[in-house]
Amino acid sequence: MDVRGFVGRDAELAELDNLLSTGEAAVISAVAGTAGVGKTALAVRWAHRVRERFPDGQLYVDLRGYGPDQPVSPEDALAGFLRALDLEGAAIPQDLAERAARFRTLVARSRMLILLDNARTVEQLRPLLPGGSSCFVVVTSRDALAGLVAREGAHRLDLDRLPSEDAHRLLRELLGDRVDAEPGAARALVERCARLPLALRITAELIRSRPTRGLSEFVDELSGQQGALDLLDADGDPHTAVRAVFSWSYRRLDAVAARVFRLLGLHPGHDADDHAAAALAGVSLRETRRALDMLRRAHLVDQISDGRYQPHDLLRAYTGAVNR
């Protein structure tokens, strides 16, 4: 199924097209980016538009790497793939290595697209990779999955937040003429939502559910850090609420990285360098740099220039919530 209201991402779609046109196998480790940036939407949109290039079909699995549910084990993911490939239950091997071998044998001469969505670790992914060059694999993750790039030669595609114009187009796609009626408030909403598609979609749904209220009222509600997270709660849906979605990345941090992340949100400046972060956290410069690298790879901070880091506005609001 295609993605409703998908806008922009022309450069990223073209990059995927170019990789496919080489005629070689490719693993895209980072369609990677921060929570809510639209990694799955990009992968699904691309898969939909190139489906005719894969006459033997497509395989998809949500690996649940980040979310309220337990991650899908490689064993279970392979069992699902083998069933989809018409292998009867009794014929599915019990051993992980045997399942992976059977899977690779079955797809060895197939022209298939394999989408491994919401991956948590490289170890979760490796058994799911086909052995030959006939399949094309797209992986999405919040993590950079550097090991997949280094060892398997995966191509990294980092997905940034939407440019302002594309974010405005998305809001107009979702709200129609109400955006044209209040253009200034609409642009303010885009920035309050940090140009994140997930936050924009939640906000649009709230606005549609309250038709008598103007966009400027929602801008006011989103102005306070805690108010923004409360407004983007999506009725507490653990898969959608912005606070919950951020929490799944935060919970994977070690103690030092979590401390640096929390304190960056309290830093009075818009951004901080590694020395300022070390002073805030009360740890060594070496520990701080390692923590900042972990935060960058987890897409919990943006590296805006050499040695300077900042969380975007909604992540800054989230640090306020975890600091309370």
Mean pLDDT by 10 residues, the chain (324 residues): 83 92 65 92 94 94 93 96 91 95 93 94 94 89 90 90 95 92 93 93 90 88 75 77 90 94 84 91 94 93 86 88 78
Indicate the number of domains in the chain: 3
Q: Are residues 189 and 262 in the same domain?
A: no
Q: Taking the alpha carbons of 227, 231, 234, 236 in that order, is the dihedral positive or negative?
A: positive
Listed in sequence order, the residues at least 6 apart from 84 whose beta carbon sits closer than 8 Å to its beta carbon are: 59
Supply the pLDDT for residue 2.
Answer: 67
Asked if the structure places residue 266 within a domain, the reply is: yes
Q: Which two tokens stand for residue 185?
A: 């408030």
CA 261 to chain centre: 18
Task: Determine the pLDDT at residue 1.
Answer: 60
CA distance 256 to 272: 16
Nearest to 252 by CA among 147, 144, 128, 160: 144
In a domain, 148, yes or no: yes
Domain that holds residue 206: 164-223
Same domain, 310 and 202: no
Task: Give the separation between CA 85 and CA 21, rounded to whole angstroms.
Answer: 26
Claim to verify: residue 179 and residue 70 sit in the same structural domain: no
- 26 with 131, same domain: the answer is yes
Are 313 and 274 contained in the same domain? yes
Query: Residue 230: inside a domain, yes or no?
Result: no
Q: Single out the residue in 105, 134, 158 at which a domain terminates.
A: 158
Q: Domain of 45: which CATH number?
A: 3.40.50.300
Q: Is residue 240 a part of any domain in this protein? A: no
Q: Please report whether residue 79 resides in a domain.
A: yes
Residue 311 lies in a domain: yes
Q: Give the Å distances, CA to CA, from 225 to 14, 148, 196, 220, 280.
A: 36, 36, 16, 11, 21
b/e 271-303 (16+ beta carbons within 10 angstroms → b): bbebebbbebbebeeebbbbbbbbbebbbbbbe
| Predicted local distance difference test score (pLDDT) of residue 197 | 94
- Measure Cα distances from 99 to 59, 75, 81, 106, 254 in Å: 16, 7, 10, 11, 33
Asked if residue 228 is part of any domain, the answer here is no
One domain for residues 172 and 148:
no
Amino acid found at 161: R
Alpha-carbon distance of 240 to 232, in angstroms, equals 9
Considering the domain architecture, whether residues 174 and 298 belong to the same structural domain is answered as no
Task: Answer yes or no: are the C-beta atoms of 198 and 38 closer than 8 Å.
Answer: yes
Residue 137 parent element (H or E): strand 136-141
Residue-wise DSSP of 55-78 = TT-EEEEE---SSSSPPPPHHHHH
Model confidence, pTM: 0.89
Domain closes at, from 223, 239, 272? 223
Indicate if 278 and 306 belong to the same structural domain: yes
Among candidates 163, 153, 157, 211, which has minimal Cα distance to 190?
Answer: 163
Q: How many CB atoms lie within 10 A of CB 308?
A: 17
User: How many residues are recorded in the chain?
Assistant: 324
Alpha helix stretches (DSSP H) within 212-267: 215-221, 225-231, 242-250, 255-264
Do 154 and 67 sit in the same domain of this protein? yes
Burial readout 194-231 (b: 16 or more C-beta within 10 A, e: otherwise):
bbbbbbbbbbbebbeeeeeeebeebbebbeebeebbbb
User: 223, 240, 260 — which closes off a domain?
Assistant: 223
Between CA 60 and CA 70 the distance in angstroms is: 18
Q: Are residues 270 and 217 in the same domain?
A: no
77 and 193 co-located in one domain = no
Contact 309, 301 (CB under 8 A): yes
What whole-number distance in Å separates Cα of residue 177 and Cα of residue 174?
Answer: 10
Specify if 234 maps to a domain: no
Residues 21 and 51 in one domain: yes
Q: What is the pLDDT of residue 213?
A: 87
